[in-house]
């Protein structure tokens, strides 16, 4: 549709329910030069150089190292405008809160090799950042072939995350399979309900 034609413009405004002043404002903005063009190109370069691991604050620091002083909120807005998402850095979630329940012996003793599937599983909680958000990943991995048996991703480290992960995993195996599930001694794994669910399924 050629909006320079008066009739076409009227049809467009009626169809979109857009005010005439708004239309001319956006038209003017679309023709205006992009004052952030160079900075956007640098942001893209920095983003790809560091494989998407830099947050908007670190990208701001990198720009300052290159002599460009810019507010970090502006950098954040430009990153969103460019559709770039920081994958953050994975790191172990340190959730130990002391003794919350029963401490159990370490059966595997670092013998993480398995000769068949569903002999030895391992689980842990990992925290990582995506833009301004924190996410918590709780997977179960088969130590035989590193297959992910189940997982739960949440915005907060809550016990229900562990329960849901277990229930998903339990659907994939029968009861009493002589399986060992290894974890650390963080509070989630000390909970009576966690240990009860494993015992009921026949998992050590």
Q: What is the pLDDT of residues 60-104, one digit of tens each?
A: 999 988 888 999 899 998 988 888 876 655 555 555 455 555 567
Confidence of residue 1 (pLDDT cuts 50, 70, 90): very low
The answer to whether residue 151 sits within a structural domain is: yes
Same domain for 193 and 107: yes
Q: Which of 59, 82, 105 is the last residue of a domain?
A: 82
80-84, 87-91, 106-110, 151-155: lowest mean pLDDT where? 87-91
Contact by Cβ (8 Å): 12, 1? yes
Same domain for 150 and 54: no
pLDDT at 56 over 90: no
Q: Which of 82, 107, 133 is the last residue of a domain?
A: 82
Pairwise pLDDT comparison (96 vs 152), residue with the higher score: 152
DSSP SS3 for 112: coil
Tokens of 168: 């998903």
The answer to whether residue 191 sits within a structural domain is: yes
Burial class (CB in 10 A: 0-12, 13-18, 19+), 43: buried
Same domain for 186 and 102: yes
What value does the mean pLDDT take over residues 161-167? Answer: 92
Same domain for 96 and 10: no
Contact by Cβ (8 Å): 54, 86? yes
pLDDT at 3 over 50: no
Same domain for 147 and 128: yes
Same domain for 174 and 121: yes
Confidence of residue 106 (pLDDT cuts 50, 70, 90): confident
Q: Which of 54, 82, 110 is the last residue of a domain?
A: 82
Residue 173's domain is classified under what CATH number? 3.30.420.10
Same domain for 100 and 178: yes
Same domain for 30 and 117: no
Q: What is the pLDDT of residues 175-200, one digit of tens each?
A: 988 898 888 888 888 888 988 999 99
**Which residue range forms the structural domain that includes residue 27?**
6-82
pLDDT at 167 over 90: yes
The answer to whether residue 1 sits within a structural domain is: no
Confidence of residue 2 (pLDDT cuts 50, 70, 90): very low
Non-local (6+) Cβ contacts of 170 within 8 A are 197, 201
Question: Domain count of the chain?
Answer: 2
Global pTM reads 0.52
């Amino acid at each position: 549709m050629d909006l320079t034609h008066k009739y076409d413009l009227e049809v467009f405004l009626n169809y979109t329910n857009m005010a005439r002043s708004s239309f001319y404002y956006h038209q003017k903005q679309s023709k205006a030069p992009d004052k952030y063009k160079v900075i956007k190109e640098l942001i893209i370069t920095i983003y790809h150089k560091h494989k998407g691991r830099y947050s908007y604050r670190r990208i701001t620091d990198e720009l300052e190292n290159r002599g460009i002083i810019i507010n970090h909120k502006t950098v954040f807005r430009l990153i969103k405008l460019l559709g770039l998402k920081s994958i953050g850095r994975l790191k172990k979630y340190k959730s130990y809160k002391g003794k919350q329940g029963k401490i159990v012996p370490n059966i595997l003793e670092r013998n993480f090799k398995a000769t068949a599937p569903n002999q030895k599983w391992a689980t842990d909680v990992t925290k990582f950042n995506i833009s301004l958000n924190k996410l918590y990943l709780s997977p179960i991995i088969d130590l035989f072939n590193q297959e992910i048996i189940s997982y739960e991703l949440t915005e907060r480290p809550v016990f229900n995350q562990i329960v849901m992960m277990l229930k998903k995993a339990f659907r994939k195996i029968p009861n009493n399979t002589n399986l060992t599930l290894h974890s650390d001694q963080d509070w989630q794994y000390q909970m009576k309900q966690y240990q009860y669910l494993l015992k009921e399924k026949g998992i050590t």
